[in-house]
Chain A
Amino acid sequence: MLFQSYTDKKDGAIRGYDIKSPKVKVLAAVILLMCFLIVLICVFPAIWVMLAGFKDIKEFTRNATIWPTAFDFEKFRVTWKAFKFGKYYFNSAIAVGGSTICAVIFNGLLAYGFAVLKPKGYKVAWALVMWSLLIPATTSIVAVIRNISLIGLKGSFIPIWLAFGANAFYVVLFKEFFEGLPSELLEAARLDGCGVLQVFIRIMLPLSKPIIMVVAIFAVTAAWSDFLFPYLVLNGSGKETVMVKLFAFKDTPTDAVSVLRAVVFSIIPPTVLFAIFQKQITDSAAAGAVKG
């Protein structure tokens, strides 16, 4: 029975002992119904775009229906080939891979400095990093793009990768995790004569698998979705990512259904990733964001 489960309810205003009253039962049922409606609103747009991708342009512009007349995967294949999405997926994979590696290594090392090594005067650097958490990159994009052009890195993946190495949010995540590690372990390793980098590689890294996973998942989804900076750096270089292409549709007249199918292509990888790591992602989203 549905209401049985409420007797063990551990949080919220409705307590286990309330559920005997019929009024509370109605309330609980209404809340449950509303939650289902909310989830429907959350997933419907993504479902719609997949359904609409099966329509051809005539059907899309003339028929006022949500359901397509036929489910023909050939349409997706044609769009995939016509717009060379294989190439963009490949470029995205390179951008995402490099960005994720940079996100883990660089931010991890900085957090190691802040949390464990604490060299004299580190607090100044920490304050500066925290400050940049609040002033996101978009406000300084003019100067960044100019600098990248001046040193001749336009049209290269390198600035895309390295941009993920300077992320204050990831630094905070790493730092909090490192501070929770038993300090006796690090002290013992140091007494055994391990150098600063040895401690990091032999002790910190193996213990840090959970946080590395979290940062890597965040970095993969962020790098996949990123488009403004990659657009300004990569557009016209032949290294455009899926998102850069999707952004460029804004300025190039393209039929609506092709855009829709491109949107589907851009949603699939993060959705698969989310399906696999849903628990890690929702848990760390709830815990991490408050502190950041």
Chain B
Amino acid sequence: MRKRKSFKKRDLLGWLVMLPTLLLFAFYVWEPLLENVRLSMFSAVRYELQEFVAFDNYIKVINNPDFIAAFKNTFSYTLWSLVIGFLVPIALGILISETVRFKGLFRVGIYFPNIVPGLATVWIWSFFFNPGKTGVLNIILSKFGIDPQLWLTNPHWTIPLIIITLTWKSAGATALIYMANISSISPDLYEAATIDGAGIRQRIRHITLPSVFSLAKTLLLLQIISVFQILYEPMVMTNGGPNNASISLMMLMYRYAFRDFDFPSGAALSVMICIVLIILSGIYTVATRKKED
């Protein structure tokens, strides 16, 4: 703590330096969060608010049959991303940590998808998942004598395949974080384990994995928070189909606000999503604070 003193010129100057940016945060982040709550309780014609309707918009949104589908799907996205998206970066990080030659190439290679714009990624992968004979994955499968698959048009596969696309894009960047963590493990630990007769597999299980565990917990929560907001991937790849099999809550919000221009309903759905996210980030804050103690 600095010396206790009253509010001085220096403090005022400090706040003045920070003010422009804080105003931007207020405009883009803080005010809209509150504004959403207000919007969601009114009826509106385009941007003009009409009258106070309390929770009518919320009831309307929840009673929309698409809402149940979107709600279920959003959890399905999150679950699949835990199965696929969570483990792949850990595996990548461990594998590349065990190489010496070409390590630089591997680092750059796995990070490359992260540099490809998200929109370009979803366009490319929608062509990969083309169900016809000329879809890229079907071409590759045919080389192994496997029949063409339906890919995204099979409603059971839609969500996992979209998650695979997401994982392709983000796993490398996450793997780099794990690699930094793994390379900071003290060599003494491995050497002591070797003296105790531990083989390589046991060393990975008892030394490498436990030490990435606390980092993994943090990244897991961040991943849940980000996948919960999945929006443009299904929008471009499947438009929510087939038959609502991949529509997400954020996508439903987008449809309300920017396709039907029903801003209050879009805001109501935003508020509901936000409450879930605030709870999740509350858990995140508690979890990370414990780690620091």
Contact = CB atoms under 8 A, between A and B. Distances in A.
A28 B98 contact: yes
B287 interface: no
Closest 5 CB pairs of A and B: A119-B14, A39-B109, A140-B32, A134-B281, A117-B14
A107 B120 CA distance: 28
B173 to A, nearest CB: 5
Instruction: Using C-beta atoms within 8 Å of the partner chain, give the interface range for chain B.
Output: 35 or more
B52 interface: no
B27 A42 contact: no
A210 interface: no
Interface in A24-74: 24, 27-28, 31-32, 34-36, 38-39, 41-43, 45-46, 48-49, 52, 60-66
Interface in B83-128: 92, 94-102, 105-121, 123-125, 127-128
A128 B25 contact: yes
Of the candidates A12, A61, A224, A246, the one having the most CB atoms from chain B within 10 angstroms of its own CB is A12
B12 to A, nearest CB: 7
B187 interface: yes
22 contacts: A11-B183, A31-B95, A31-B99, A63-B134, A66-B136, A109-B20, A110-B21, A113-B18, A128-B30, A142-B36, A142-B267, A142-B270, A145-B258, A165-B21, A224-B117, A225-B118, A228-B232, A246-B120, A249-B123, A263-B124, A271-B112, A285-B176
Max chain A CB contacts within 10 Å: which of B18, B92, B138?
B18
A13 B207 contact: yes
Given A15-B187, A134-B285, A140-B35, 9 more contacts: A12-B97, A32-B102, A39-B110, A42-B112, A49-B120, A112-B17, A131-B281, A139-B277, A143-B35
Contacts of B94: 12
A83 interface: no
B17 A196 contact: yes
Give the interface size bracket for A toward B.
Answer: 35 or more
Contacts of A120: 7, 11
Contact of B263 (A9, A132, A146, A200): A146
A46 B116 contact: yes
B253 interface: yes
Contacts of B235: 250
Given A48-B136, A120-B11, A200 B281 contact: no
B190 A15 contact: yes
B31 interface: yes
Contact of B21 (A36, A107, A266): A107
A259 B20 CA distance: 40
A64 B109 contact: no
A137 interface: yes
Contact of B108 (A9, A134, A139, A282): A282
